Amino acid sequence: MSVALVTGSCGLVGSEAVRFYHARGFDVVGVDNDMRAYYFGEEASTGWVRESLDRDLERYTHVNADIRDEHAMNGVFERYGRNIALIIHTAAQPSHDWAAKEPLTDFSVNANGTLVILEGARKHSPEAPFIFTSTNKVYGDTPNRLPLVEQETRWDLPQSHPSYVGINEEMSVDQTTHSLFGASKVAADVLVQEYGKYFGMKTAVFRGGCLTGPNHSGAMLHGFLAYLARCAVTGRPYTVFGYKAKQVRDNIHSADLLAAFHAFFQAPRSAEVYNMGGGRASHCSMLEAIAACERITGRKMNWTYQEQNRIGDHIWYVSDLARFQSHYPAWRITRDVDQILTEIIEENRERWLHAK
């Protein structure tokens, strides 16, 4: 049997990975202990996702364990060993705001937890490609030093600037304000690279922009587009922090991200790093995202503005996808922001209104 091991299997990317590889004939082992409910409250719980995976997928095995638990994780790797054909590590504390509340929890989950998974893979499944979901927050606030120009609804770069197409992997991660979350993800990011370089494992770090899709249990502190859509549907208030609500993010649908993962899995490389987001094909400012939500739902949003931005937050971030596309030229972005928002709203509207 071929096993795909997915940590954070009930999160946005994890659950997409579970379904993706189950549909391709893999036995899928998912590790998830619903820490998201601990981070962000019960309405952010991924329990509903686990129920759907257990119900829908015959060859899905759920492991309710903490990735920091060496005994539990070694048990998983010992059980499946070299039958593990692929490891997708998505489990994390994902919010830079929340990290400041419990820095020890944030670091132990993001850094130590990643080390536990890497060691399990090295000892028991060293040939399995190892895919890690990192973050653009590893660059800290260095992107804010770009010569941005204020426009009517957004900040942007001049088209003549080399980074107009997006930020590439050459940007430094040093001498910048990361946020504590960014620091813990830098540690994990470098560990994954080092296991590729030092031990020859097939590892890839995907430094994500805004990862999104209909399976995202969006919360106020994490899951920008999904939570914005929820507020648009339910009428709950939404707060924008700083930068005149003109800050820009690129957004990638989880299905497009999984297609990138699969391209790497089919032709893996060692110690690769890829910036991965929607790029210029799928990006927007906060003002533009709010306008899109209002257009799709046909109702005005209840939103307010606070002048103080979040520490280490980006004014403008768009991923340069050229490095990944040079390695895997058949891959491309298939959904833009309007398509993503429409899908999120259509698939979650009834559940959100019922929970309201």
Report d(CA 191, CA 260) in Å as an integer.
21
In the chain, the DSSP E strands lie at 3-7, 27-31, 60-63, 84-89, 130-135, 149-150, 155-156, 203-208, 210-212, 238-241, 248-253, 272-276, 283-285, 303-306, 316-317
> Which residue is associated with the tokens 């049997």?
1
The reported pLDDT for the residue numbered 97 is 86
End-to-end CA distance of the chain: 43
Q: pTM score, two decimals?
A: 0.94
CB 214 within 8 A of CB 12: no
Provide the 8-state DSSP code for 276: E
Q: Give mean pLDDT in consecutive 10-residue pieces for the chain, a chain of 356 residues.
A: 96 95 98 95 91 97 98 98 98 92 98 98 98 96 97 98 98 94 97 98 96 78 82 95 97 96 98 98 97 97 94 92 98 97 94 82
Report d(CA 83, CA 86) in Å as an integer.
9
The reported pLDDT for the residue numbered 310 is 83
Token pair listed for 312: 């280490």
Report d(CA 37, CA 50) in Å as an integer.
13
| Full domain range(s) for residue 135 | 3-355
The reported pLDDT for the residue numbered 214 is 86
The reported pLDDT for the residue numbered 311 is 78
**What CATH number should be reported for the domain holding residue 210?**
3.40.50.720
Structural domains of the chain, count: 1
